Amino acid sequence: MARVYNFSAGPSMLPLEVLKQAQTELLDYNGTGQSVMEMSHRSKEFDDIIKETERLFREVMNIPDNYKVLFLQGGGWTQFSSVPLNLMTKNGKADYIVTGQWAKKAYQEACRYGKARVVASSEDKTFTYIPKVKREDFDLEADYVYYTMNNTIYGTKFNYIPDTGDIPLVSDVSSCFLSEPVDVSKFAVIWGGAQKNVAPAGLTVVIIRDDMIGHAMDITPTLLNYKTQADKDSLFNTPPCWQIYITMLVLRWIKGLGGLDAMKQRNEKKAKLLYDYLDNSKLFKGTVVPEDRSLMNVPFVTGSDELNAKFVAEAKAAGLVNLKGHRTVGGMRASIYNAMPYEGVQALVDFMEKFEKENG
Amino acid sequence: MARVYNFSAGPSMLPLEVLKQAQTELLDYNGTGQSVMEMSHRSKEFDDIIKETERLFREVMNIPDNYKVLFLQGGGWTQFSSVPLNLMTKNGKADYIVTGQWAKKAYQEACRYGKARVVASSEDKTFTYIPKVKREDFDLEADYVYYTMNNTIYGTKFNYIPDTGDIPLVSDVSSCFLSEPVDVSKFAVIWGGAQKNVAPAGLTVVIIRDDMIGHAMDITPTLLNYKTQADKDSLFNTPPCWQIYITMLVLRWIKGLGGLDAMKQRNEKKAKLLYDYLDNSKLFKGTVVPEDRSLMNVPFVTGSDELNAKFVAEAKAAGLVNLKGHRTVGGMRASIYNAMPYEGVQALVDFMEKFEKENG
């Protein structure tokens, strides 16, 4: 069948240009006579790939020189453990801002390794907003403050960077990675799973300030100690080479389009199209307060479970797939990451208008 | 350029048929209008892939019903930690057979979590042989016995399964995975990295007997606890979907060729060609005692560093790549995994004969 518009929350769409290039060179990368999938991670050919990927990451995100860029395995759940194991080692305390399930799970995992504290939460209103936190809310003895920048399930985003003073700030940026500029220098650690905006599932990128490395607890599994991979430029063991290669292609694509400023413009234009429709619809409505809306994940409902199910099924038949909301929230969710073209959002809005006429 | 014969120790060659199918359906898997790289891991389409992969694994390896098959991230180093964290929990003791660098590293990691003991080692002769161990060598209080079945760097293989009596047996089979039949019922845990015989780097398959699950130490990171993924059929978090898909294609390929009995025949035939040549060559010689030779990794030397370097360079120019030995051993190493065709080994032997004539 023709390519569909895939609104999956992750893994999710990749740029068509990237997929086509990967397809073209799948049997023979750059005249090597090998697929990237077959390449020794110690070869010159792969070394060129991982070095270019890191260089592009630094360039596109404007990452300062005193930060390492690590290419790791294990997904968000590994970071939920690695963050406290590596960082909760001075006073054994950390402050968590809980704005969704993933932040809550990160907090719960941290509780296993020290005194984690919920400093603010939006669970009282099913995580539909972002709490405002001020510098004086934080424990001056906290080894770090942790938050999730964009909340995939609930469609909220921090539109400010919490002011933590001298306390190191850690953020999970999985679902807004590379979607707009971010001031890396404000963070001690920024990490993100690749499977939304960067590459296929199986790669986690950790951007970490040098002084955060080397203080892990004794119980830390060797591979979860950030120092292990930082000392070896992510080649301590075999990395997920294919995912790193796709990341390189995606970063080239982003750079070619004008970098993160251009991505932000594109993403704002796409999100505006959908939010404007939702704000004017009689049938559909968004679930998030306007000031905390995500550019990446847009949940919406009709008010009727039956109509929701009908919408999801009919949309799928029309080539607009994976619009069902997260199982814990219900309704619908359109994830419109970097690789979703404007035409895809337009097609969704057109379909919603038609559905509204037929079912309004 | 034309496809080369890639003798890399891993990541390494994949079957050409598998690569071609992945290429064909890269933009549109099975009429879904999506790449497998873009597919939600919660979708029906991906569920079919992971279920078929597990079913084929069980069929091809004849895995008993009281074992789980887990698809994990993190590579061998994660297992070096996970094995003691999950299993060294009754008496806090374990016996390790050290037949190479990877076994040694696994042992060293286990020492961080309990009383690990080297029960036998071949380090005295640079790991060029496999020690014979008997049931009475093991500590009856050991929570498990651990060994590496095939030693990638040194080209040795256990041609017997250690008799540990009632002590659970754990084996790292990374570099001989799916290369010949193995009696899974003799093991408590068999695990292997995918990047040699199974799939691109980024997937580790753990085959674990049910009674080994659920006893992890309190300090175990959630994702390193085998119970976490066992309870969720490896879908606790986002798995490395692309690697699982390639595994499915590789397992179909193996099954189509006649399963592991057929793979063993193919591998023996390929290895015999190369070992017979080495045993009769005046210039090249193998480094491993005949009875412990691996079918997968064949190290050899000329006795001159200069000639070794010349051989590796000229072989590369002739389309026979990655023949340089591991940095800790020197000389040459030909890794001839499942996907290396007989013609590739023939081409190598032909080239060695020519080189021997010119340099003998």
Tell if the CB–CB gap between A240 and B239 is shorter than 8 Å: no
A192 is written with which tokens? 């993100």
CB atoms within 10 A of CB B351: 18
Contacts B322 to A, Cβ<8 Å: 40, 43
Tell if the CB–CB gap between A40 and B10 is shorter than 8 Å: yes
Tell if the CB–CB gap between A238 and B322 is shorter than 8 Å: no
Q: Which of B43, B81, B243 sits opposite A202 (nearest CB)?
A: B243
Burial class (CB in 10 A: 0-12, 13-18, 19+), A224: buried
Q: What does the pLDDT look like over A241-262, one tens digit per residue?
A: 999 999 999 999 999 999 999 9
Contact between A72 and A86 (Cβ < 8 Å): no
Q: DSSP 3-state assignment of A258?
A: coil
Kindly list the catalytic residues of B.
102, 172, 196
Contact between B80 and B105 (Cβ < 8 Å): yes
Helix residue spans in B33-154 (DSSP H): 44-61, 75-87, 101-111
ω into A341 cis (within 30 of 0): no
Contacts B336 to A, Cβ<8 Å: none
A281 touches chain B (CB under 8 A): no
Helix (H) or strand (E) holding A170: strand A169-172
Q: Determine the Cα–Cα distance for residues A334 and A354; give it in Å rounded to an integer.
A: 17
Residue A204 has pLDDT above 90, yes or no: yes
Give residues with Cβ within 8 angstroms of B182, minimum separation 6.
B61, B149, B173, B190, B260
Instruction: Indicate which of B219, B220, B231, B328 best probes the interface with A, i.e. most A CBs within 10 Å of its own CB.
Output: B219
CA of A135 vs chain B CAs: smallest distance (Å): 31
Helix (H) or strand (E) holding B189: strand B189-193
Eight-state DSSP code of residue A175: G
Contacts A40 to B, Cβ<8 Å: 8-12, 322
B1: confidence class by pLDDT, cuts 50, 70, 90: low
Q: Determine the Cα–Cα distance for residues B216 and A201; give it in Å rounded to an integer.
A: 27
Q: What does the pLDDT look like over B22-67, one tens digit per residue?
A: 999 999 999 999 999 999 999 999 999 999 999 999 999 999 999 9
B360: confidence class by pLDDT, cuts 50, 70, 90: confident
Eight-state DSSP code of residue B190: E
Q: Which of A8, A85, A319 sits opposite B33 (nearest CB)?
A: A319
CB atoms within 10 A of CB A2: 6
Q: Is the ipTM of this complex over 0.95?
A: yes
Instruction: Indicate which of B34, B224, B244, B333 best probes the interface with A, i.e. most A CBs within 10 Å of its own CB.
Output: B34
Q: What does the pLDDT look like over B183-237, one tens digit per residue?
A: 999 999 999 999 999 999 999 999 999 999 999 999 999 999 999 999 999 999 9
Burial class (CB in 10 A: 0-12, 13-18, 19+), B93: middle
B48 is written with which tokens? 């079919």
Burial string for A62-88 (b: 16+ CB within 10 Å, else e) reads: ebeeebbbbbbbbbbbbbbbbbbbbbb
Instruction: Indicate which of A35, A71, A229, A333 best probes the interface with B, i.e. most B CBs within 10 Å of its own CB.
Output: A35
CA of B30 vs chain A CAs: smallest distance (Å): 9
A111 phi and psi angles, rounded to 5 deg = -60, -25
